[in-house]
Amino acid sequence: MNSRGSDASQNLLPATSGEKPKGSSTSATSLKNRNHRYRKTQIETASPAQLILLLYEGAIRFCDQALEAMAQRNLTEQHANLVKVQEIVGELMGALNQEAGGELAVNLRRIYLYMLEKLVLANLYDKQEVVQHVRDMLQSLHDAWAEAAQKLLEQTVLETAESLSETARLGDRHV
């Protein structure tokens, strides 16, 4: 990942502007600002594994928004959302460590390149089924990553507990 403040991770944040939208209440604006601050804090404090999950979630959300825009024939929104998905997929690809990740990283890179190609074609030819296919792939990768991250967390907690137990046991000997 480039940095915690990367362009793609910023796409996970809702768009905000300095102007109050016409007809909106102060409480709606306040809620939007709180949501924006929450999401920003979530990104800034996330572990690397959590950042990857947030990127997948953002890409999935933008696929959903692009599909909705496609159904409404809103080409501007369609394009904007598909570009955001492409940026996030590019960020995921940039986060790969091919030396440490070996064959898995190489295969993920190929999958991300495939997704990028499909997203461009889907945008060009208004192919909802292609966007849905990419969305489904992103969801599968998200779920696999979430499962792996959970197993790693459980293993780390178990190892830490065993280490603390051993330290406490050894500490009792020295009393």
Taking the domains of the chain in order of start, what are their residue ranges?
7-14+28-140
pLDDT of residue 161: 77
Going by C-alpha positions, the residue among 87, 2, 13 that lies closest to residue 48 is: 2
Rounded Cα distance between 171 and 36, Å, is 47
In tens digits, the chain (175 residues) has pLDDT values of 444 445 555 555 544 444 444 555 677 788 778 776 766 776 676 788 899 999 999 999 999 999 999 999 999 999 999 999 999 999 999 999 989 999 999 999 999 999 999 999 999 999 999 999 999 999 999 999 999 988 887 887 877 877 777 776 666 655 5
Residue in this structure with the two tokens 């440490």, named with its chain if needed? 100
- pTM (2 decimals)? 0.72
Domain 7-14+28-140, classified CATH 3.30.1360.100, yes or no = no
Tell me if 70 sits within 8 A of 128, measured CB to CB. Answer: yes
Largest CA distance in the chain: 75
For residue 147, the 8-state DSSP code is H
